[in-house]
Amino acid sequence: MGSQTILANAYHLTHRPGHERVRDLGGLHTMMDYDGPILTDSGGFQVFSLRGLQKIDDDGVDYRTHFDGSKHRMTPESVLQVQANLGSDICMILDHCPPGDATMPQMRAAMDRTTRWAERAAKSRRDILAPSQLCFGIVQGGTDLSLRAEHVQAMQGLDFDGFALGGLSVGEPVPQMHATMAEVAPTLPADKPRYVMGIGTPWDLWQAVSCGVDMFDCVIPSRHARNGQLFTWEGRFNIKGARFRDDGAALDARCPCATCRRFSRAYLRHLHDSGDPLYVRLATLHNIAFFHQFVGAMRQGIAQGNFAEVSKALFGVISAHYLPAETPHKA
């Protein structure tokens, strides 16, 4: 479809089927029969989301899984070992991601802890990871620009192959998230990949690329598809709408995906109403294809030297269909 890098969830793989089992099966590439790049997160975000089931200290995190309640411990070194066993191409360090409503002291504490954990990861990565495995650091600091600037300074001298902005899209207002990204992303090392974790609306991606971000990830294409939300160049459709029952048109005339080439809106509506699992596959296929087109246009604009023109055209789509009406903005 156009994707190269697959993101796998280290927390889930640690417990199901187990990272040592994956290792014994030859790693994720062999197990999945996929020869492209695989990025794994540390699993820390999932653990920190287990409120009431985890206890954080300066050495690491004790937690109980939401699968069976069993006890486990996560440290900067252990998450690298998990990713070494998985055979990931890009490994993320353990960081402390505070919630979107964190106070300034909480954001400061999470940032300082992330720095200490990053120092340990940078020191141990060469002993734990294979030489071919890349390791990315993560910058925290919430939406406070002074904390973010301080953390960029602390992180960029460490032995990492790329840098991510973590702690965004965790409940803060979207314009505030975009403003933080626009200020901080350009200050990350220009000779290494810049990655913003957990963003995925068309507006988010347009903003990210416009300020120099190279990578991003999100569950939006698949999660929204499951919930009946389909992204098109004419806006986002809710396939549950009654108007689609008798609509024999393709979902999106501008989309080249198999879903749009072969099936009608009415058929997708029927599959959704019937609870047929084929709906989820077809809808996800389409949503991913839409985002490939959207991001691919920006990538092509950069390569051909006409990004400003492409960006303006894409913002026209965003402002017409994907920008909240009350949000002031300009291209």
Question: Which has more confidence, 45 or 71?
Answer: 71
Strand-pair category, 229-232 with 215-216: unpaired
Exposure of 319 by Cβ count < 10 A (0-12 exposed, 13-18 middle, 19+ buried)?
Answer: middle
* Domain map (residue ranges) of the chain: 6-217, 223-321
**Cα(8)–Cα(90) distance, rounded to whole angstroms?**
10
φ, ψ for residue 92 (rounded to 5)?
Answer: -100, 145
CA atoms lying within 13 Å on the CB side of residue 137? 28
Question: Which has more confidence, 67 or 152?
Answer: 152
| Token duo for residue 165 | 């902005």
Residue 142, helix vs strand vs coil: coil
Q: What percent of the chain has pLDDT over 70?
A: 97
Per residue in 226-268, pLDDT (tens digit) is: 999 999 999 999 999 999 999 999 999 999 999 999 999 999 9
The mean predicted confidence, pLDDT, of the chain is 94
pLDDT of residue 99: 82
| Token duo for residue 160 | 């990492």
pLDDT grade for 327, boundaries at 50, 70 and 90: low
Task: Give the number of other Cβ atoms within 10 Å of residue 145's Cβ.
Answer: 13
**Cα(90)–Cα(232) distance, rounded to whole angstroms?**
31
Comparing CA positions, the residue from 61, 134, 44 lying closest to residue 97 is 44
Question: Which has more confidence, 286 or 102?
Answer: 286
pLDDT grade for 325, boundaries at 50, 70 and 90: low
Per residue in 152-205, pLDDT (tens digit) is: 999 999 999 999 999 999 889 999 999 999 999 999 999 999 999 999 999 999
Catalytic residue ranges = 41, 217
Indicate the class that CATH gives domain 6-217: alpha beta
Dihedral (CA of 144, 148, 149, 154) sign: positive
